[in-house]
Structure 1
Amino acid sequence: MAIVKSTIQQQVADAIAAIEPNDRPVATIQTITGPSPWLTNGVLGLIGQLMVKYYFVTLTHRVVVIHRTSRISNRPQEVLYVIPLDQARASISDVRRNTLWSSLRFQLPNEPKPTRMNIHRMWRAEMDTFVGALLGGAPGVPGQYPPAQAPAPGQYQQPQAPVPGQYPAAPPAAPYPPQQPGGQYPPAQAPGQYPAQGGNPYQS
């Protein structure tokens, strides 16, 4: 099982490169859905673990990619969602930066309400990078972030210098294909496209 953060980040970067070589991660966070882990891990025990899902959520230079996470190997599995940046900016809300377990809410495609995603302090620096880069600015108040909104033309820019927890800039590439309803790409894949929801990028 991968438990070293740098190893996990590399596995996610490799998984993205395997299905979209022209994109690069900016920040990856590991999340656990559901109520506070204090409740699901402690009070509810095994039953609580059945209520949650594990995801890798990655901001790239072009989209937000959400992988399912293997509970056994802690490796990225299939791509569940590929979300354009503008849609992702409008989908994030209620960011809470805490000592041990931080959280944010993210509106996933086809879900009736935003999903709470809990982030362990091991990933808090990456969460700061993720939220700050996605929303286009650093927190104005400790633990608080500006509300999600579409930036003015030219407002969002790729980082100009390496920052801890970030990856190098992606090479120039053509835009992603048009997004389909539900955050999915067409089932018929062409070179450079992500698989449809539920597809496994590790199968030939």
Structure 2
Amino acid sequence: MVRQVEPAGRPSLVLLAVTGPSQWLMAFVGPLGVLLRKTYFLTLTTTSVVVHSGSGAGGQPTKLVQVIPRETVGELISDVKLGASWSSFRLRFPGSGRRVRLNVSHHSRTELDRFLSTVARKG
């Protein structure tokens, strides 16, 4: 899907994140919580971050959300909280005031660290 949107960009990592207030809270909701959350796939390429969404149950990207130029992504990230089990950050999509809280499992912590260090604001 990334090649269709950005043929010249080479993907270097994919970060899997889910929405929701807290994954601990979602655990109490049970299987219904999986259906209520949205999954985001952030693909870092040589020129941009391609954001796709999908259902919490499917595990596959289904819809293109946004293509963000790589040099501007750092300005759109805030409230980074790194945890042992779950980490989170907020991403503001360009063209809207909407900020989405994205939760990242400890299983993807290496990708999160690489993603954040790559798109970090310089200066």
Which TM bucket (shorter chain)?
0.7 to 0.9
Larger Rg: 1
Cα distance in 2 between the residues matched to 1:124 and 1:75: 20
**In 1, Cα distance between the equivalents of 2:85 and 2:11?**
25
Find out whether 1:20 has 2:3 as its counterpart: no
What pairs up with 1:45-194 in 2 under 5 angstroms?
A: 45-46=30-31, 48-135=33-120, 149=121, 151=122
**TM-score normalised over the length of structure 1:** 0.54
The two structures, once aligned, show a CA RMSD in angstroms of 2.0
The alignment's TM-score, normalised by the length of structure 2, stands at 0.85
Check 1:71–1:33 CA distance in 2 against 1; reply closer, same or farther (3 A cut). Answer: closer
Higher strand share: 2
- In structure 2, stretches of 5+ residues that fail to align are none
Please give the per-residue CA displacement for 1:62-82, whole angstroms capped at 9, x wherever unaligned.
111111124444122221111
Q: Map 1:34-45 onto structure 2 (within 5 A).
A: 34-42=20-28, 44-45=29-30
* CA displacement, residues 125-150 of structure 1 (integer Å, 9 cap, x when unaligned): 00011000111xxxxxxxxxxxxx3x
SS at match of 1:112: coil
Structure 2: which amino acid aligns with 1:37?
Q
Identity %: 34
Question: In 2, distance between residues paired with 1:40 and 1:71?
Answer: 12
Unpaired segments ≥5 residues, structure 1: 1-14, 136-148, 153-204
Q: Report if aligned partners of 1:106, 1:114 keep a CA contact under 8 Å in 2.
A: yes
Post-superposition offset of 1:48? 3.9
Name the amino acid aligned to 1:65. Answer: V
Does structure 1 conserve the Cα–Cα contact (< 8 Å) formed by 2:16 and 2:40?
A: yes
Check conservation: 2:35, 2:57, Cα contact below 8 A: no
